[in-house]
């Protein structure tokens, strides 16, 4: 019984460490998230000049129009959606969306 216990403890500890490791690598995670969820429309550089982005009317994240919007506005659009932009309310956590907005601002 004692061995079972310690095996269980070990599994719990390993899981906790894995979670911590994932949180530490946020930049990489956010880049991967952007790639898998946003890039198809917004493009690798955020210019929105992909086939889908052009068709749906995604703006260039570098444009004055987007630069003028606050992080809160961009957060709201990503969370709730706007016109053709799908909302990510159910698919991403608030923290993930915040990280993505920070990430978008760093795209060149």
**In whole angstroms, what is the distance from residue 68 CA to residue 50 CA?**
23
Query: Which one, 10 or 63, has the nearer CB to ligand HEC?
Result: 63
What residues line the site for ligand HEC (CB under 6 A)? 37-38, 40-42, 52, 56-59, 61, 66, 74, 77-78, 82-86, 88, 100, 104
Grouping H, G, I as helix, E, B as strand and the rest as coil, residue 82 is strand
* Of residues 18 and 80, the one with the C-beta less far from ligand HEC: 80
Q: Report which of 69, 68, 90, 71 is spatially closest to residue 80, judged by C-alpha positions.
A: 90
Q: Compare residues 14 and 63 and give the one whose CB is closer to ligand HEC.
A: 63
């Amino acid at each position: 019984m004692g061995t079972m216990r310690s095996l269980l403890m070990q599994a719990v500890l390993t899981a906790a460490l894995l979670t911590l490791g994932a949180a530490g690598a946020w930049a990489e995670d956010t880049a991967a998230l952007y790639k898998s969820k946003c890039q198809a429309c917004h493009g690798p550089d955020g210019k929105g000049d992909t086939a889908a982005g052009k068709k749906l009317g995604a703006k260039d994240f570098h444009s004055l129009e987007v630069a003028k919007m606050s992080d809160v506005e961009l957060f709201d659009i990503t969370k709730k959606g706007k016109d053709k932009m799908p909302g990510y309310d159910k698919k991403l956590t608030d923290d993930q969306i915040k990280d993505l907005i920070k990430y978008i601002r760093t795209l060149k």
